[in-house]
Structure 1
Amino acid sequence: MKKLGFSMVMVTLLLAGCTSKQKENTSESTSSKAPSQEIAVVVDQEMSSMDSALATDTYSITAINNVMEGLYRLTENNELEPAGAKSLPQVSEDGLTYTIQLNEHATWSDGSPVTADDYVFAWRKAVTPETKAEYGYLFEPVKHATDILAGQLAPEELGIKAVSEHELTIELEKTTPYFDSLLAFPTFFPQNEAFVTEQGDSYGKNSENLIYNGPFTLADFDGPGTDTSWTYLKNEDYWDKDTVQLTKIDNQVVKESSTSVNLFETGQADDILLTGELAKQYKDNEAFVTIKKAGTTYLSYNQTEATFKNENMRKAISYVFDREAIVNQLLGDGSIAPTGLVPSGMSYSPTTDEDFAVEAGGNLTMNIDEAKKLWQTAQKELGITNLTLKLVAYDTDSIKKVAEYLQSSIEENLEGIKVELSVVPVSVAIEYGQSTNFDLFLFGWTADYADPSSFLELFTTDSVYNYGKYTNPKYDQFVAAAKKADLNQLEQRWDNYIQAEKTLMQDMGVSPLIQKSEARLRNPALKGIISHSAGAQFDYKYAYLEE
């Protein structure tokens, strides 16, 4: 997601009236609209799926978060707020059993109640191997999930039970520091079994094949991966509809920043993404907003082939990149040069409060002389003089520019290497990644929850997101040991993740390039949008246009 972060280890309840939840957004804009409570926003990619069990990209996850609802929503401070649940879960003394009372007022858009069975159905569906849910691994803290995902147990053995229509119990394999936050993540949202069964393979294919329980419903959506516009409409069947002020949110896919800016300047859009020179040009504009994300853009190497099984080859490529130039000159959107895979400002030591990125202490500086020496060594080891590489990237304005920079940096500094660019829509890029149909793959990941595991579990040998097939038994051991740790072993868990990060960077299993931020232009009258650095990016439930 992905999508597309990016330390919230334990979360607490925020009890407040709807007025206090309307977060004031201090950004302003030269564009304005009458407060009709209808807005237009620009996104830079199509959605890949509206099935909560299958969605992984940032755009789909954000859409699902606004038209569907799980047990909890996340506040701007990443605290849990009851939604489909009546209150915070009751957790047993050993931390292994969660009892949750559901909100009896929550209904689907057809008027039927949202029940405990809807959660049981959705969770079982997500861990069923035949579903092929890429986010199925997120359920591993739940009792029996790992064995079910491996096809060794039936989905009915999953540790979730409908005690009654409005009471749910969840059993965990072990205490999990970040589990509470998963209860607000769209993959854990309910699904109406009767409706999903009736729709069959058509479920989620368009806005007519969906049923909703969130603040909004989806309209004018014709299909994942292809449709370039869709609309959120206020859900009149939503249990908390009186809190929702926006009545309509038009979404339009625009991949060129200059086009987005024109829409904003002419009052046709209220919120757009900025990249490159335009981000720098508007930096001092009253409309300019920077949003930090717990996300990393990185380069994967196809390590199923001899070329990139060679460590010297991977390091030669990585050393030719000037990451400071990428974030400051190419992007100019507030992104920073990373020191490793796990982004800074996301997770902190349970004993020293040290930032993970600082403690892991990575070094990703450019070194052209060393890169040339490593390339020469790799040539001898591989028995080659020339090399043609296929670099796959997705077709957003900013990513295309970064891909072109990588191409030129490699070709200009490593004599004998030619790089061919393949820039494709994100859904196609993901397909290339899943089939390892690339030599180099420029990809981004935004944390689903604020914990190092959200990044480091991506590159174990058996991870479905390990597109380049990096493998190191020592790395796998560190991640496995961290996953086995419980609440009484938080320091040990932290240390294992630190060692995993160091191992990955020493191997240059992937090459982090950018720690993400977003630059945006936003209508000054548009208030109350909740932004999350991890998980679903935007929540419009409390958004409104100010008079």
Structure 2
Amino acid sequence: MKLSRSMAMLAGVASISVILAGCGSNSSQKKKTITTSTDSELTTVDLSKTTAVGTFNVLNNVDEGLFRLGKDSKVEPGIATSSTISKDGKTYTFNLRKNAKWSNGDPVTAQDFVYSWRRTLNPKTASQYGYLFSGIKNADKIQNRKAAVSSLGIKADGKYKLVVTLEQRIPYFKLLMGFPVFFPQDSKTVKKYGNDYGTSSKTQVYNGPFTLTKWTGTNLNWTLKKNPNYWDKKAVKVDNIKFSVVKDPSTGLNLFNQKKLDMAQLSATQAKQMSNNKNMISRKQSSCYYIALNQKNRAFKNLKIRQAMSMIINRKVLANKVVGGGAMDTDSFVSKGLAVSPKNGTDFTQDVTAPASMSYNPTKAKQLFKEGLQEVGLNSLHFTLMNSDTYDQKQLSEYLQSALQKLPGLKVTLNNIPGRVILSRQADHQFTATVANWFADFSDPITFLNILTSNNPSNISQWKNSTYDQLIKASNNDDGNNAEARWIDMVKAQNLALKDQAIIPLYQSGEKWLVNSNVKGVIYNTAGANYNFKNASIK
């Protein structure tokens, strides 16, 4: 997931007065309201077009798919009351509940799923998540404009029965169904608002536990309000969840201490200072922050230059001293703790082999950089590193600038900009180098590895390798029914990508939060849409 499901923590500038206005106090009369900070502004709530983690977290609570993902990503009932699978594992039949409604009163039907999937996959929509449908009948052909959208392997059998046909077994299929990209959409609403669809809370309808309110499309606070039309509204215990974008961690801490926030994210420095605070909790994330180098650039086509830039970065210092907050240094693209081998239960990161360029070695890095410059006919190199303008990411940018400029002849200029701008520029490849991130959409290594394939819209570095593409294709197709063979494909693919320095992995993120002890039942998952507030409560 980029948050750009790649930039997750992209935030806009919020003044203290705006933040305070959005929070309010949790007095005895407001015990059914949870207030929380977020470092991610909303840019859209159109599930066919977003890539941002913050948006997926909202969609996971205002909408609902065939399944919901509970604690530890356990598959739980959603719009589907039951499902059956054919013997060959290629046909799923879902029976939908008849009391599910949209917030405008329309019934949620099988056709809403058909419409939504076709809309997301339609090349005209330009969704960056269309590749997730790979394995569903004709999905790849539709993406490549070789088949009609109507040929997608999904059909409505009456109003409340949905049939999905696959080209091969998909081991993680039910997990996918709990990810917002696969949720239904009300066609009447999409057509009503046209280009404005999902650009504000009023240009969207909802079928989940909550509805989105008080979001204009540009403001930095919004509210999730209990949905009176939700089929399981009796299970929803809070009336409102109020979000405010808080850019400065000190502001968030002050608001928490003033009881104007029930949940506030801490900076690395704050987390160290408050290590014994009884309200502090850790949240690991299935993520990878990395540097993407635009490999259309002459210098970055050179492998030695890419390797040198990776080797000059001390990841232990970066993760523990600069980022902090539970971050872990990594020599992997796939995150630690995401998936284990079907053969022996080892973590994916233990089965892969990191190349020498993923280890800190300034002497070797300087040698490689000098050789790389000579090979491309340059005496020096100057580029701009683009990154988010949040507090922590500015700190990261400054550290990377200092580390990279230890390579003789390299000058790095920083450009820290707001979220909606950076996501757009990354998608259009309008950068030379950028810090990006990927957050797992589901608990399987392929959620990371897919994005480095040649034609994946999220492959912002534009690295290409035919052998890598073949390995990923095999894992998704020929070896899809053989868990061990599929695992080997994925291990080989990551080894190849890192050896060729397709990207420069930096760290796996974690967060430290202060959470009011009265807040209960908030489900947090490391992969996919992280937050599920359906059963949350506040005493």
SS in 1 for 2:233: coil
Residue 13 of structure 2 aligns with which residue? none
SS in 2 for 1:134: coil
Residue 244 of structure 1 aligns with which residue? 236
Q: 1:523 aligns with which of 513, 516, 519?
A: 516
Q: 2:62 aligns with which of 64, 67, 74?
A: 67
SS in 1 for 2:118: helix
Residue 268 of structure 1 aligns with which residue? 260
Contact map agreement 1:277 1:330 (CA 8 A) in 2:
no
SS in 2 for 1:442: strand
Distance 1:40 1:231 in 2: 9
Q: 2:274 aligns with which of 269, 276, 282?
A: 282
**Structure 1 position 4, deviation (Å):** 6.2
Distance 2:280 2:359 in 1: 30
SS in 1 for 2:73: coil
Residue 114 of structure 2 aligns with which residue? 120
Alignment of 1:99-498 (within 5 A): 99-223=93-217, 226-363=218-355, 364-411=358-405, 413-498=406-491
**Structure 1 position 485, deviation (Å):** 3.1
SS in 2 for 1:512: strand
Residue 14 of structure 2 aligns with which residue? none
CA offset digits 1:348-381 (Å, max 9, x no partner): 1111111110100325221110111111111211
SS in 1 for 2:147: coil
Determine if the alignment matches structure 1 residue 501 to structure 2 residue 466. no
SS in 2 for 1:250: strand
Alignment of 1:11-26 (within 5 A): none
Distance 1:64 1:524 in 2: 26
Contact map agreement 1:32 1:523 (CA 8 A) in 2:
no
Contact map agreement 2:62 2:211 (CA 8 A) in 1:
yes
Amino acid corresponding to residue 387 of structure 2 in structure 1: A
Distance 2:27 2:467 in 1: 57
Runs of 4+ deviating beyond 2 Å:
1-6, 31-35, 485-488
Distance 1:520 1:485 in 2: 43
Amino acid corresponding to residue 279 of structure 1 in structure 2: A
Q: How many residues align?
A: 518
**Structure 1 position 332, deviation (Å):** 2.1
SS in 2 for 1:478: helix
Contact map agreement 1:42 1:252 (CA 8 A) in 2:
yes
SS in 2 for 1:354: coil
**Structure 1 position 487, deviation (Å):** 4.8
Q: Structure 1 pair 500/118, CA: closer, same or farther in 2 (3 Å)? A: same
Distance 1:92 1:273 in 2: 45
Distance 1:37 1:45 in 2: 24
Residue 3 of structure 2 aligns with which residue? 3
CA offset digits 1:406-434 (Å, max 9, x no partner): 001111x1122110111111221112212
Distance 1:253 1:182 in 2: 28
**Structure 1 position 141, deviation (Å):** 1.7
Contact map agreement 1:64 1:186 (CA 8 A) in 2:
yes
CA offset digits 1:260-302 (Å, max 9, x no partner): 1111111111111112211211222111111111101011111
Distance 1:156 1:441 in 2: 37
Distance 2:4 2:239 in 1: 27
**Structure 1 position 462, deviation (Å):** 1.1
Contact map agreement 1:92 1:98 (CA 8 A) in 2:
yes
Contact map agreement 1:127 1:133 (CA 8 A) in 2:
yes
**Structure 1 position 5, deviation (Å):** 9.4
CA offset digits 1:165-199 (Å, max 9, x no partner): 11111000110111111111101111111222112
**Structure 1 position 435, deviation (Å):** 2.1
Q: Structure 1 pair 382/487, CA: closer, same or farther in 2 (3 Å)? A: closer
Structure 2, unaligned runs of 5 or more: 7-24
Determine if the alignment matches structure 1 residue 38 to structure 2 residue 33. yes
Using structure 2 for the length normalisation, give the TM-score: 0.94
Determine if the alignment matches structure 1 residue 86 to structure 2 residue 78. no
Query: Alpha carbon RMSD of aligned pairs, Å?
Result: 1.5
Distance 1:380 1:157 in 2: 52
Determine if the alignment matches structure 1 residue 50 to structure 2 residue 45. yes
Distance 1:74 1:470 in 2: 33
Contact map agreement 1:2 1:61 (CA 8 A) in 2:
no
Residue 24 of structure 1 aligns with which residue? none
Distance 1:339 1:202 in 2: 42
Determine if the alignment matches structure 1 residue 511 to structure 2 residue 513. no
Amino acid corresponding to residue 220 of structure 2 in structure 1: T
Contact map agreement 1:3 1:56 (CA 8 A) in 2:
yes
SS in 1 for 2:321: helix
Distance 1:269 1:67 in 2: 21
SS in 1 for 2:80: coil
Amino acid corresponding to residue 426 of structure 2 in structure 1: G
SS in 1 for 2:316: helix
SS in 2 for 1:101: strand
Deviates most, 482-491 or 345-354: 482-491
Distance 1:537 1:161 in 2: 29
SS in 1 for 2:392: helix
**Structure 1 position 436, deviation (Å):** 1.9
Q: Structure 1 pair 139/307, CA: closer, same or farther in 2 (3 Å)? A: same
CA offset digits 1:304-340 (Å, max 9, x no partner): 0110100000011111111111111112211111121
Contact map agreement 2:295 2:463 (CA 8 A) in 1:
yes
Contact map agreement 2:5 2:53 (CA 8 A) in 1:
no
Contact map agreement 1:51 1:204 (CA 8 A) in 2:
yes
SS in 2 for 1:164: coil
Deviates most, 525-534 or 380-389: 380-389
Structure 1, unaligned runs of 5 or more: 7-30
Contact map agreement 1:38 1:249 (CA 8 A) in 2:
yes
Using structure 1 for the length normalisation, give the TM-score: 0.92
Distance 1:303 1:105 in 2: 51
